Amino acid sequence: MKLGKFKEIVLLILIILLSLFLRFYKLGEIPNGLYVDEAVSAYNAHSILETGKDEYGKSFPMAFRFFGSYSPPLYTYLTTIPIKIIGLSALSARLISALSGVVGVLLIYFFFSGRKGLIASGILAISPWAIFYSRVGYEINLGFILLSLGILFLWLGINKPRFLFWAYIILSLSTYGAHFERYLAPFILITSIIVFRRFSLWGTIVALIIQIPNIYLFFTPAFFAKGGLFYQELIITQVKKISIFPTLLSYPLSFVREFASRYLGYFSPRNLFLLEDYDLQRSAPGLSVFYFWLVVPYLAGLYQLIKEKKKIFNRFLMFLLVIIPIPLALIKDPFSSQRGLPMLLPMVLVITLGFDYLLLKYKKVSYLMLTVLIPISFIFLWRSYFVLLPYERANVWNWGFDKLTQEIVNNPKITYVIDQERIKPFYIEFAFFSKLSPEKLQNSVGGKIKENYYTNIVFNSSYKFQNIETRGVEWEKDIYKEQILVGDELTISESQAKEHFLTKVFEIRDPANEIVFVGYKTDPTTKCLRTNFESIYCRKI
């Protein structure tokens, strides 16, 4: 089945328009809330735009300290553009990610072009995995798209070496896109040289120059801030279970077991087509990363790879399938749709091969997929993402921080203590929604953090500025000050409120009518009178 060039261009444009709709429709409203990772990236972009410094007062950092994670900086710097144009908002926080998703739909077309290219673009355009991470306002999707673009040029460079120069540069840039690309991009580049015996000297030189900031960071604790993701505890547990073996054998066996389990998990049809991500903040209700029916072209695509393994493209795709999960298999998560996002590229390419094979060999089955299953999938997608997710997952997307911020802003003379034992870091959400002057936030942190920016990696969510304090509730002191204690519904029990003469002054509920925040006003005078001024803090009243 051949398509004319005009029809092909029209179909590609329609697919791009579809991807635009699915990624930009109510982008500032769904997900319903603003996750702390989105708030911290966007506010720091705002801070850079206004002052040239991040929230800690560090000028143009090479990696942002965000909660001690030291995130690659590219997404935050690029987010200064939409913030400059439309202001600080959930929409501007997510815009670069959504645009990256649309670019990805176009670039995957060029792995094949023609009919196969349209299939690949169409699958990526409607994939729940791609849509979900295109609509979140932090770096994960940008890093994935840059990595995919670098891989595209790597593939082109196998046939035409002049493209290798650009492949090396883009792969090097992708390490500033997202955490996982810091390790995966160099790994792909080095192993591709070994496997395909293609090399660009000038590309290597420029790529190394681009890596100078990362090389500097490599010799600081900041580069390995997420080093705790390895599963050494699980290996030790397994070693104890097989203690009958000598230590020199039990440790390698335990590692191989854990590694193989995670490695194969990224090929599991259950994980790819049936199950949601175990983390509710990384999935939509009732949806896996791909639609269930795509398991058929997925298996057909794997069959095609093995059957025609001598084809150079199939060899390249098998290379990606083998290489990309290796770093992923060193992480605790059994299957993570977020860290495993780079697997989306080879998986879509595999499904494309299978879909094309079925389209040519079993036309009736293929037309059934096109006319029945795809429309049904849209119904499931719409119901899951645009109807259920804003209702059922508002809490995990930090819904209500804007309302709590407004409550505090409306009462500037009242001190609020925001419990941080169970609530995500509130200081950055308050700064975002109140559009706090960056200088005020910068002045609220100690100078030691700025001076030891890449070595002082321990994050403390306790802040004091404006009329708020973010920390754990100190019961022996806080009940003797006139202020409002804020937490979730489990922070302050009814018995505690009664014992300490606290009065509920507000509560904030999510769309599912679940309590997100509750505020209790203290009454130190009554507390002291009823307890005969037994506390030393009563003397200060």
Q: By the 8 A CB rule, do 144 and 306 touch?
A: no
| pLDDT(165) > 90 | yes
Specify whether 291 is located in the same domain as 341: yes
How far is Cα 239 from Cα 220, in angstroms, rounded to an integer?
32
Classify residue 250: in a domain, yes or no: no
| pLDDT tens-digit series, residues 355-412 | 999 888 887 776 777 778 888 888 999 999 999 999 999 999 999 999 999 999 999 9
Classify residue 123: in a domain, yes or no: yes
Q: By the 8 A CB rule, do 122 and 24 touch?
A: no
Residue keyed to tokens 């440790």: 251
| pLDDT(243) > 90 | no
Classify residue 10: in a domain, yes or no: yes
Q: Which of 392, 414, 432 is the last residue of a domain?
A: 392
| pLDDT, average across residues 493-514 | 92
| pLDDT, average across residues 274-278 | 91
Specify whether 300 is located in the same domain as 156: yes
Q: What is the pLDDT of residue 494?
A: 87
Specify whether 425 is located in the same domain as 318: no
Q: Which of 425, 387, 431 is nearest to 409 (CA)?
A: 431
Specify whether 339 is located in the same domain as 475: no
Please name the residues in contact with 307: beta carbons below 8 A apart, sequence gap of 6 or more.
none
Q: What is the pLDDT of residue 541?
A: 59
Q: What is the pLDDT of residue 174?
A: 97
Classify residue 20: in a domain, yes or no: yes
What total of structural domains would you count in the chain? 2
Specify whether 430 is located in the same domain as 445: yes
| pLDDT(417) > 80 | yes
Specify whether 363 is located in the same domain as 473: no
Classify residue 430: in a domain, yes or no: yes
Could you tell me the residue range of the domain that residue 521 belongs to? 397-540
Written as one letter, the residue type at 338 is: Q
Classify residue 231: in a domain, yes or no: no
Specify whether 61 is located in the same domain as 129: yes
Q: Which of 369, 392, 415 is the last residue of a domain?
A: 392
Q: State the average pLDDT for the chain.
A: 91
| pLDDT tens-digit series, residues 97-145 | 999 999 999 999 999 988 899 999 999 999 999 999 999 999 999 999 9
Specify whether 431 is located in the same domain as 506: yes
Q: What is the pLDDT of residue 253?
A: 82
Specify whether 76 is located in the same domain as 45: yes
Q: What is the pLDDT of residue 149?
A: 98
Report phi then psi at 4, rounded to 5. -70, 160
Q: What is the pLDDT of residue 2?
A: 63
Specify whether 128 is located in the same domain as 105: yes
pLDDT band at 1 (very low <50, low <70, confident <90, very high): low
Lowest mean pLDDT, pick from 57-66, 73-82, 245-254, 318-327? 245-254
Q: Which of 344, 375, 392 is the last residue of a domain?
A: 392
Q: By the 8 A CB rule, do 267 and 329 touch?
A: no
Classify residue 433: in a domain, yes or no: yes
| pLDDT, average across residues 239-267 | 81
Classify residue 318: in a domain, yes or no: yes
Q: By the 8 A CB rule, do 387 and 28 touch?
A: no
